[in-house]
């Protein structure tokens, strides 16, 4: 029999920076298409691993001199390299003890969101770009039985992290932990091993300062509208995000963009196109698709991280102050 203590020690040894455990019942209020238990109904625990994003990777964006590091090492390598490697090492412990695991990195081009109105929010919320998914998308898949959601189901890492007691969702919609603030990504393991769950995090990291809203280059975070979701027997909420604006800003455009690759009017038009539908600009295409996310989470990550550090509420302390962006 595996214990929670053994499992957590093994997760850290496998490479995770954070680990939390959720009981399946905490997801029960979610629609089936958002509930991880739809994929593995026999699962008895949901384990969430957090992999930190190194703080120094934000410096190139803050100084306006080097954009590839954060998106390649902090984003792509975290999701597509380090998470799968960590999960591989972690899950062997379970199989050796006779338990199944379904390791799920934050790396899939999922899902079926057909038939969902992108403007619909609340318990049927979505958090993807409506220009790519949602009511305008093609038919994608069908349920194999009447009582099952169509594949692939879509569950959110931040909700799993919440259920595993790792932290809270800030007003920005970004998950915040007491260790790193917004500076990590999550992977999930579903298993039939029954483990003691962690308590839900009591909250208090987000103080509703509004810096994520003010400093978002895309003006994508609403200052007044909220999304509310029932989960783990509670109601949680965050501010509504305009995903089309967020997507443009992440890739270098936006109303308050500070993008040094935006030199000509043609660049400006290119970077402000919806990235998933019109990557035609000669510079826009290669820069965006090579992963140089110029917006690079300025408000929701960098402004929030600096604010939480200034307040002294994060456990990971540094000798050098992070401070504000140069532009
Ligand atoms: S920047 Fe302020 S309001 Fe936004 S998520 Fe962080 S703490 Fe909350």
**Mutation choice for ligand 1 from 182, 307, 309, CB with most ligand atoms inside 8 A:** 307
The pLDDT score that the predictor gives to residue 277 is: 47
Please give the model's pTM, rounded to 2 decimal places: 0.91
Q: Which range, of 120-134, 146-160, 287-301, averages the lowest pLDDT?
A: 120-134
94 to 7, 48, 88, 222, 308: CA distances (angstroms): 9, 15, 11, 43, 36
**What is the distance between the alpha carbons of residues 154 and 261, in angstroms, rounded to a whole number?**
34
Question: Tens digits of per-residue pLDDT, 293-313?
Answer: 777 788 899 999 999 999 999
Q: Is the CB of 215 under 6 A from ligand 1?
A: no
| Helical (H) or strand (E) element with 13 | helix 4-14
Q: Is the CB of 225 under 6 A from ligand 1?
A: no
Q: Which residue, by CA, sits nearest to atom 3 of ligand 1?
A: 208
Asked whether residue 14 carries a pLDDT value surpassing 80, the answer given is: yes
Confidence category of residue 21, pLDDT binned at 50, 70, 90: very high
Provide DSSP, 31-58: -GGG-GGGT-TT--EEEEEEEEPPGGGG
Confidence category of residue 6, pLDDT binned at 50, 70, 90: very high
- Taking residue 313's Cβ as centre, other Cβ atoms within 10 Å add up to 15
Q: Which range, of 147-161, 180-194, 207-221, 223-237, averages the lowest pLDDT?
A: 147-161
**Mutation choice for ligand 1 from 168, 169, 171, 301, CB with most ligand atoms inside 8 A:** 171
Question: Tens digits of per-residue pLDDT, 90-100?
Answer: 999 999 999 99
The pLDDT score that the predictor gives to residue 282 is: 54
Structure tokens at 50: 């957090």
Evaluate whether 153 touches 283 at the Cβ level (below 8 Å): no
Q: Which residues of the chain form beta strands (DSSP E)?
A: 18-22, 45-52, 101-104, 168-169, 175-176, 184-191, 221-231, 234-241
How high does pLDDT run on average in the chain? Answer: 86
Please compute the mean of the pLDDT values over residues 46-55 and round it to a whole number: 97
Asked whether residue 178 carries a pLDDT value surpassing 90, the answer given is: yes
Residue whose structure tokens are 């958002």:
34
Q: Is the CB of 14 under 6 A from ligand 1?
A: no
Asked whether residue 137 carries a pLDDT value surpassing 50, the answer given is: no
Instruction: For residue 38, give the nearest of 24, 20, 48 by alpha carbon.
Output: 24
Q: Is the CB of 304 under 6 A from ligand 1?
A: yes
Q: Which 3 state secondary structure label does DSSP give 187? A: strand
Please compute the mean of the pLDDT values over residues 79-102 and round it to a whole number: 96
The pLDDT score that the predictor gives to residue 109 is: 60
Evaluate whether 197 touches 23 at the Cβ level (below 8 Å): yes
Please compute the mean of the pLDDT values over residues 173-194 and round it to a whole number: 97
């Amino acid at each position: 029999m595996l214990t929670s203590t053994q499992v957590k020690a093994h997760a850290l040894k496998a490479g995770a920076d954070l680990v939390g455990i959720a009981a399946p019942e905490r997801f029960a209020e979610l629609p089936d298409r958002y509930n991880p238990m739809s994929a593995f109904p026999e699962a008895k625990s949901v384990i969430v691993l957090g992999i930190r994003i190194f703080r120094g990777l934000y410096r190139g964006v803050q100084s306006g001199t080097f954009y590839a590091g954060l998106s390649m090492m902090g984003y792509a390598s975290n999701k597509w390299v380090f998470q799968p490697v960590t999960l591989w090492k972690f899950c062997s412990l379970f199989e050796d003890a006779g338990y199944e695991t379904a390791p799920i990195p934050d790396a899939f081009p999922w899902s079926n969101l057909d038939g969902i109105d992108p403007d619909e929010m609340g318990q049927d919320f979505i958090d993807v770009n409506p220009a790519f998914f949602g009511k305008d998308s093609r038919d994608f898949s069908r349920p194999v039985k009447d009582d099952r959601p169509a594949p692939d189901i879509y569950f959110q890492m931040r909700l799993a992290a919440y259920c595993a007691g790792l932290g809270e969702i800030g007003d920005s919609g970004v998950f915040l932990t007491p260790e790193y603030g917004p500076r990590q990504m999550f992977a999930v393991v579903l298993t039939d091993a029954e483990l003691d769950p962690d308590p839900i995090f009591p909250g208090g990291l987000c103080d509703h300062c509004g810096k994520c809203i003010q400093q978002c280059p895309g003006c994508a975070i609403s200052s007044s509208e909220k999304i509310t979701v029932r989960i783990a027997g509670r109601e949680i909420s965050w501010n509504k995000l305009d995903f089309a604006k967020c997507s443009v800003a992440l890739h270098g455009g936006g109303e308050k963009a500070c993008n040094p690759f935006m030199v000509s009017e043609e660049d400006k038009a290119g970077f402000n196109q919806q990235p998933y539908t019109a990557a035609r600009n000669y510079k826009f295409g290669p820069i965006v698709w090579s992963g140089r996310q110029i917006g690079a989470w300025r408000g929701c990550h960098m402004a929030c991280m600096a604010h939480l550090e200034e307040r002294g509420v994060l456990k990971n302390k540094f000798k050098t102050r992070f401070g504000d962006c140069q532009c």
